[in-house]
A and B are shown apart, each in its own frame.
Chain A
């Protein structure tokens, strides 16, 4: 019982620390120009290097979605609706979520382990001791880079999912590609595109800040670093799913 209370207290304190970090991040916005170079570096690491996993992730999500829905719709003679289902599914849900989960794993692990290792080896203290804000130097560039790069990456996941779905529908269900494409594009409304591209910005913000926080929160040795890296990935991934649910629910009730 006592350990459960202690654990709960620890979590509340961690939440408080996270909130304070977000406050410092907000207050650092006025010095945002100073982190331009680091942001570009992070954009390359977070964005360009994630191109292939996102492309493959999106493609396989599109293939699975096309096969599963295609066979079910075929039972009712409605296989021509596959294009519509795949495009709406990819743009509204699977594209952002697949990109979010892959990036939570990739970027989350990278941020937590890099910053955690810097924390253990006193490099964060060195930054502070020499008058450099670790928030501005480490968190701000990673957050901006993630928020900027998640948009094109999500678009890549969406596109590769729709195109791979189109190919697999042609091969297994014999639906004409131009028909698939036409129904896929005409099904998409402005609000679908808005929802599909607003989610990644929100996901990116939380993935970047949560993983950086776990890095900063690393105390002790390498085992703490490993544990915090796992926690960063798990919590970021869960946040992606929870936010997806909240966003979908709220947006569909409002729009």
Chain B
């Protein structure tokens, strides 16, 4: 579905991505995990074609999009949805207008069909009744839901989430993660970029750890816990600790 081959990206002397390779299968929730400044969001923008790599290749559905022009990218992007870290909602519009925005832009649907579609999506994300509310009157969690609703409006094949729970309280974070899981059951491929380990573990089918622009390890949570890589061990330190604690508790209980 998505394949990156030896992607390099630099801004001036600063290396952002260093020979990054990655493969994401159709329908899975792939989490790209790493510390702040590791190159996660850059990787996402490369996958979306918003940024062009200095070298390397990016394939979406086996089509090489690495160096397509902006105009050539537009139809490909219509099969993708993205939830930006800061939501990037149009703050002068209402919830309904935000969700319907790109449906109207790209045409093809009657206004009654657009209304039905928006209503259906808002029901799905538990925001029914908020249609006429302006974006600036919503809480952080609700804004995130509207951003997800907007990303869903096209029934995209791939949805990208950039730090979906950053800045949210634990309850809202949990509900957003549940929503991401629910969205993926429709068959869409989800790519989640996060630095929060617990989020990654709770939703990721596969985890890809990135550090200083280079992919360090890719696999399931189990694979990560078996990893001998020092950075992965450090990053998963808390999980190792919890696992060790659990093991010792079980051992004490058995004795």
Q: Which residues of A contact B (CB under 8 A)?
A: 24, 27, 121-123, 125-126, 128-133, 137
Docked-complex contact A126 and B70, CB < 8 angstroms: no
Known contacts A125-B88, A129-B50, A130-B105; 8 additional CB pairs below 8 A are A126-B89, A128-B70, A130-B77, A130-B78, A130-B102, A131-B75, A132-B106, A133-B71
Separation in Å of the B68 CB from the closest CB of chain A? 13
Determine, out of B79-87, B116-124, B192-200, B242-250, the stretch whose residues face the partner at the interface: B79-87
Q: Which residues of B38-79 have CB atoms within 8 Å of chain A's CB atoms?
A: 45, 48, 50, 70-71, 73-78
Question: How many pairs, one residue from A and one from B, have CB atoms within 8 Å of each other in the complex?
Answer: 52
Nearest CB in chain B to that of A27: its residue: B71
Q: A128-B50, A129-B50, A132-B102 are in contact. Are A122 and B77 (CB under 8 A)?
A: no
User: Does B90 touch A at the CB level, under 8 Å?
Assistant: yes
Docked-complex contact B77 and A128, CB < 8 angstroms: yes
Contacts of B74 in A (CB 8 A): 131-133
Docked-complex contact A130 and B75, CB < 8 angstroms: no
Q: Which residues of B contact A (CB under 8 A)?
A: 45, 48, 50, 70-71, 73-78, 80-82, 84-86, 88-91, 102, 105-106, 150, 154
Q: How far is the CA of A133 from the CA of B80 in the complex (A)?
A: 15
Q: A131-B74, A133-B70 are in contact. Are A126 and B88 (CB under 8 A)?
A: yes
Contacts of B82 in A (CB 8 A): 126, 129-130
Nearest CB in chain B to that of A114: its residue: B92
Separation in Å of the A136 CB from the closest CB of chain B? 10
Interface centre among A24, A125, A129, A133 (most CB of B within 10 A): A129
Docked-complex contact A131 and B88, CB < 8 angstroms: no
Q: How far is the CA of A132 from the CA of B75 in the complex (A)?
A: 9
Separation in Å of the B94 CB from the closest CB of chain A? 16
Q: How far is the CA of A105 from the CA of B242 in the complex (A)?
A: 61
B105 touches which one: A24, A27, A123, A132 (CB < 8 A)?
A132
Instruction: Give 6 nearest A-B pairs by CB, closest first.
Output: A131-B78, A122-B88, A126-B88, A131-B77, A130-B102, A131-B74
A129 touches which one: B48, B91, B106 (CB < 8 A)?
B48
Q: A130-B78, A133-B74 are in contact. Are A125 and B102 (CB under 8 A)?
A: no
Q: How far is the CA of A255 from the CA of B86 in the complex (A)?
A: 56
